[in-house]
Amino acid sequence: MFNPAKEVPSLELCKRLRVLGFPQEGGGWYYDISWYPPWVGLAFVENPPNDLFFRTCFIKAPTCRELGEWLPPINDTAYPFCIKLPRGFEWYVECVEDNEKRIKAKGLADTEPNARAEMLIWLVENGFVKFQSTEGAREE
């Protein structure tokens, strides 16, 4: 059975991505935080409205594929994503400095979407990736 909660990062990571500028437009999965008392659910929204209520109460929940579109390609200077099992999902960012590979950051997450989100957050916070307002765009 398909469970969208296993396909997208946690609400907390999605909140951090939104604060960093991850595009919030376009169809896909969103966390709905509009209920009172506080209740959070995932909703698939095909054509999200561009109004204040939606922008305030819905947070984009990107899938692994959507997160992967923002990750830098593997090349000579950065090997940005690695998953190791069975301990969980381990990620690292490795850069080449002075002709030597050096790990700049690493982490361990409980799911692949969380690992990708954590790595993308690190890359944005450290200036390796910049979000653009158009959906699916990536600065290389």
Q: What is the pLDDT of residues 20-70, one digit of tens each?
A: 999 999 999 999 998 776 677 899 999 999 899 899 999 999 999 999 999
Distance of CA 47 to the CA centre of its chain: 21
Count Cβ atoms below 10 Å from residue 61 Cβ, excluding itself: 26
Q: Which residue has the higher pLDDT, 6 or 77?
A: 6
Report pLDDT for 140.
Answer: 33
Q: What is the pLDDT of residues 27-40, one digit of tens each?
A: 999 999 987 766 77
Share of the chain above pLDDT 90, in %: 49
Q: Are 105 and 122 in contact (CB under 8 A)?
A: yes
Torsion angles phi and psi, residue 111, rounded to 5: -140, 160
